[in-house]
């Protein structure tokens, strides 16, 4: 992964992320992914145009459906798994009659 000169300068995105992390804040996992997202958007656009040129609207529709399905699979893999709330489980276990 490459970093832009802005990210390596003090006070830049990397410095702000480190400061937020040290202060107990959260840092978005999507921070700094702009180049990858632009490349993905260009790739989908070029594939959609190729599908339209080769097969018309049906080709464009296939590209749209396949892209949406692939995006759902990728997002499912990237999103963090839900973890049970330990405090809620402890409260419910202490309640009488349950």
How many separate domains does the chain show? 1
| Residue 16 within any structural domain of the chain | no
| Residue 32 within any structural domain of the chain | no
| Residue 68 within any structural domain of the chain | yes
* Residues of the domain holding 76: 56-80
| Residue 75 within any structural domain of the chain | yes
| Residue 73 within any structural domain of the chain | yes
| Residue 14 within any structural domain of the chain | no
Q: Is this structure's pTM higher than 0.85?
A: no
| Residue 64 within any structural domain of the chain | yes
The percent helix, strand, coil of the chain (3-state, each to 5) is 70, 0, 30
Please write the tens of the pLDDT for every residue from 33-90: 899 989 989 999 999 999 999 999 999 999 999 999 998 898 888 877 777 667 777 7
Alpha helices for 1-98 (secondary structure H)? 5-8, 13-22, 34-55, 57-78, 86-94
């Amino acid at each position: 992964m490459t970093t832009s000169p802005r990210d390596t300068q003090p006070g830049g995105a990397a410095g702000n992320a480190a400061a937020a992390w040290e202060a107990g804040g959260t840092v978005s996992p999507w921070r700094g992914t702009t180049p990858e997202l632009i490349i993905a958007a260009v790739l989908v656009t070029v594939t959609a145009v190729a599908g339209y040129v080769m097969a018309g609207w049906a080709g464009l529709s296939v590209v749209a459906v396949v892209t949406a399905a692939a995006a759902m699979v990728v997002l499912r893999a990237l999103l963090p798994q839900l973890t049970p709330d330990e405090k809620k489980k402890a409260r419910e276990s202490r309640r009488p009659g349950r």
